[in-house]
Amino acid sequence: MRDPGSPAGLGGRPPVTCAAWLAEPCWIVDVLWSAVKVIAAINFGLGLAAFLSWVERKQSAVLQDRIGANRADIFGFRLIGLFHIFSDAIKLLTKEDFIPPKGMRPWHDLAPAISLG
């Protein structure tokens, strides 16, 4: 049974302050481990997106009865259409951001965030 004098939800332990938590060196390990897990999750998601993009191209080629991405060769290499993943990434990174001449720049920059919110 819980001691009536203890803080609620702490199981009788005294509350930990921010200064006490930062004074212990183990928080660095926690932050680094969390960063590693976040980076691993992002890399998994990006790799999965690239793979699914490749699968979608192959499936579309079969459904439309056409030669798919596996026939495009770069410098003599075909590599079953995997070069399209890299060309899509280059195309995305080099796209020009078009802002209408009479458009408001702050609203144009905030539009993607507003649409996701």
- Number of neighbouring beta carbons within 10 Å of residue 69: 20
Mean pLDDT (the chain) is 80
Q: Record the tokens describing residue 48, joined without a space.
A: 């999965």
pTM: 0.53
Would you give the DSSP letter of residue 74?
B
- pLDDT score at 54: 83
Would you give the DSSP letter of residue 77?
B
Written as one letter, the residue type at 73 is D
43 — pLDDT class (breaks 50, 70, 90): very high
**Residue 14: what are its φ and ψ, rounded to 5°?**
-70, 150
Give 56-109 pLDDT, tens digit per residue.
Answer: 888 888 888 877 666 666 677 777 777 777 778 888 888 887 778 888 888 888
Q: Provide the percentage of residues in the chain whose pLDDT is more than 90.
A: 14
Q: How far is CA 116 from CA 16, 111, 113, in A?
A: 36, 9, 5
CA 113/CA 117 separation, integer angstroms: 6
Q: How far is C-alpha 104 from the chain's CA centre?
A: 28
* Bridge partners of residue 74, in order along the sequence: 77
Mean per-residue pLDDT, 35-59: 91
